[in-house]
Amino acid sequence: MSSPERPCQTARNGGKRRAGVSRRRALVGLGASGLVPVLGGCGPTGEATSERDRRHREIGRVLDEISRLAIEVDPEAVTRLGLSGRGAPGWTATRLSSRSQAGFERSRLDRIATLKRLSALPLADEGSRLRTHQIAIMGAFERAVAVQAFGFGRVSLADARPYVADHMGGSYLDVPRLLLSRQPVNSVADADAYLQRLAALPPTIRDEQRRMEADAVAEIRPPRTVLSRLAAKAAALAVLPVEGHPMLRDLANRTEALTGLSDEARQDMLVAASRVIAGPLADAYRNLAGRAGTLFEGASDLPGLSAFQTGPDYFNVLLTSSLLTQANPEDLMADIDVRVRTAQRELKDALDRLELAPGPVKARLEALDGLVTVPAGAPADAAEAAGGGGLTTRGLVTALSNDMATLRPRLRQIMARLPDAEAVVTLSPQDLWAPYDHDDMTYEPAAADGSLSGTLRVRPGLEGRGVPALLPTLYREGVPGRHLARAVAIEDTAQPLLRHLTHPKSFEDAWAAYGLDLAEEISRTDDPVADAFRLRADLGLLIEAVVDLGIHGLGWTSAAAIEALSGEGGYSSRDAVDTLWRVAVEPGRAVSAVFGRSVFRALRTRADTRLGNDFDPAAFHFTLLTTGPRPFSQVQAEMEDWASAQVG
């Protein structure tokens, strides 16, 4: 639905250069203007147009300069996001992001200076996309500066984690993932870049280890179980045989028929890679495992940030910067508790409709799993009846791909314009990815330059679970969840390079959760089994937010957290333990997903109420996504303005 023209704002601005403003003031102005980027504003002419164009060019020049500084801090982000075709320099493909203490301090000071520069920069005209990008970028730098002030952990312009390395991330895992899934090898120069990054990995791991030691002196240590898992994973990586090593195999496979690379040069390259893997890299992994073990004695058994002095303050900054509101853990917990009770009632009703025997939720969910689980060795017709699509993981991948393909045409009900990039479901090679993967499904976003499709990797070993049990994850991580949000954002070619580097993960996590709502809306299924699994996923998101608040904000023990996951959420014993330690190293993520989802729901409800029959959910969602992930306060201001503009 097209929006009505808005009255010109030149009388308010007077055609004069605006003074620099804070992001908070900018948001207030955005909320009062009645204009948002996708609406288009009035078209000033003559002198006003000249002044506007000059100001916008200056803003663009400054953002370009800042993006170059941001890339120097985090060149891996260019490869990870696929920005090489969006103006990023080619040298980024050869370097790793700095993990040293000096690099951390340098980035902190640079970001403080950059935030001052951004705050002093005049805002682009109301109604322009550039203004929206400015506000979102300022929000990202505000968040990074606030979190990095604590002096520990790892902080990007999109996310933050309290520990330099843990069992789920750090250079020892993140760089191999980057090389295996995102590093291009389309030329001899690309192959050389791959090798340069591989050679840079051992010293990068050592830098990270030294930062872990510095944090430990400041009494910032991961919990004991996290250290144990980190040490075990690093030790296992240290003894991977060179022959058949994932990265060596990957490099060999991708250079086998590479144009311009002679057999002799290729062999020299593989020998060089082998030497790095067998020598410096194996040593770095062994040293990391050993150092994690020595830190164990002084670490806490508490799983959350409550274990160290500045932990609660750090958690509050994470929540405040994500939710853009003063976040009291007790109040947030009370809010989520009400939602948990509602979700539990809805799930109970769904299980009753399936006539599953009454009892504890854990036992009833095990019975639900039994409806779709395919025993090993069962005949093919049994697998088909359970919805597994066959007894092989490839059969399961085919079934999931078919479900995504079936859902895509229906996306037009909820999205005014669909992105070109489709999500591809693929089997994760067990021998390549097993050392680095930890999720049943791992989403790798489409590259911003179009060089890579969005990929949903499925871990081998899920063939017995059946499609209905995996659909909620598929909807969250694929469409209409995370992939849809990412694909819509990256296809907005007007986004400055810096915006891609500052997309907040909290927005994508919230949209992924909201994807469950949208999937229910457009799936057109009356399958009570699928409905039960969806409601189970809803409850799981809430219970993980409870644990997030409990361990990081309220001092919960591991036992209390596992009891909540197993008792309230019905998680299996193994899933409860694994979930706890995932939430332990990702504070605030589950909470922001739950509350961000609520923001999207509430905005849609208000717009629907205001517009009645004129409400177009497809236009609403397109407006919500098209300018990319951004702070929730900015989303609220823009979407309220969008609804006002539709009213006229």
Rounded to whole angstroms, how far apart are CA atoms 481 and 473? 9
DSSP for 67-96?
Answer: HHHHHHH-HHHHHHHT-GGGT--GGGGG-P
pLDDT of residue 374: 64
Residue at token pair 């939720």 = 361
Give the orientation angle of helix 23-33 with respect to helix 129-148, to 10 degrees.
150
Instruction: Note the pLDDT tens digit of each residue in 343-397.
Output: 999 999 999 999 999 999 999 999 999 998 865 555 444 444 444 444 466 788 8
Mean pLDDT of the chain: 88
555, pLDDT greater than 90: yes
Instruction: Note the pLDDT tens digit of each residue in 479-518.
Output: 999 999 999 988 877 788 999 999 999 999 999 999 999 9
Average pLDDT over residues 241-246: 94
pLDDT of residue 42: 46
DSSP for 406-466?
Answer: HHGGGGGGT-SS--S--EEEEEPPHHHHTTT--SSEEEEPPPTTSSS-EEEEEPTT-TTT-
Instruction: Note the pLDDT tens digit of each residue in 78-96.
Output: 999 999 877 788 899 999 9
pLDDT of residue 513: 97
Our CA dihedral for 274, 279, 284, 289, rounded to 10 degrees, sits at 100
Count, residues in the chain = 648
Burial class (CB in 10 A: 0-12, 13-18, 19+), 271: exposed
Contacts of 159 (CB under 8 A, 6+ apart): 504, 505
Percent of the chain's residues with pLDDT above 90:
73
Q: What would the two tokens of residue 264 be?
A: 């002799």
Amino acid at 130: L
**301 CB-side CA count, 13 A:** 4
pLDDT of residue 524: 72
Instruction: Note the pLDDT tens digit of each residue in 515-554.
Output: 999 999 998 778 899 999 999 999 999 999 999 999 999 9
pLDDT of residue 464: 77
Average pLDDT over residues 633-638: 92
466, pLDDT greater than 90: no
pLDDT of residue 323: 76
CB-based contact 164:211 (threshold 8 Å): yes
Rounded to whole angstroms, how far apart are CA atoms 507 and 433? 27
pLDDT of residue 35: 31
pLDDT of residue 37: 33
User: In terms of pTM, does the model score above 0.85?
Assistant: yes
pLDDT of residue 613: 94
What confidence tier does 38 reach under pLDDT thresholds 50, 70, 90?
very low
20, pLDDT greater than 80: no
